[in-house]
Amino acid sequence: MPEAEILVVGLGNPGPEYEATPHNLGFLTVDRLAARHSIRVSRLECRALVGEGRVEGRPAMLAKPQTYMNLSGQSVKGLLDKYGLQPAQLVVVYDELDLPWTQLRIRPKGSAAGHNGMKDIIRCLGTDEFARLRLGIHPGHPVRDGAKFVLAPIKSGQKKELDELLDAASAAVESIIAQGVEKAMAAYNRRAQGLTREEE
């Protein structure tokens, strides 16, 4: 297997109690991508579960940091350093409370916009210039306690929408890998209506 050309990191929290929560959409997307490309994400490296294979014909590594969300950067930096990859070869997938439920948004760089996992990655890498795919989780009504909301289980009535979102997120990552961020943005960001604030 050739060395990975791209590292796809899904953010989340380890442990069964967090498995089906909005904050774990990054993990769930990596699981779906792994299933679509027959990659086993089971090897522990740099405090992350990782697996290597081909995605859209390119050697890729999929990773789920096991450090808990707020310390994700240690794991991501460790993997980039170990495999000689640059931030330009990184794609991070995570949940976004500023986007409506099931919406996708691809960006080539940018601030963490309040997401603690992203804050730590940007801090550890010393740059915000890496691709990210944000998955909308806003329920469409005011959220009183964001921290509580992102760690509460996704409702059973949303399972079909969740399934469709994970397929769309996987296809978006495949598009980034196959065609580059700009073309993937053109294809997927059209769907992201109703941002609750201007993007930074």
Task: Report DSSP state, residue 87.
Answer: G
> Of 15, 35, 21, which is closest to residue 173 (Cα–Cα)?
35
Radius of gyration, alpha carbons of the chain: 15
Inter-residue contact 45 to 77 (CB < 8 Å): no
Helix (H), strand (E) at residue 135: strand 131-138
Q: What is the spatial distance between Cα 84 and Cα 81, in angstroms, rounded to a whole number? A: 5
Catalytic residue among 23, 37, 115, 141: 23
- Examine the residue annotation and report whether 23 is marked as an active-site residue of this protein: yes
Check if the beta carbon of residue 167 is closer than 8 Å to that of residue 35. no
Query: Which residues are identified as catalytic?
Result: 23
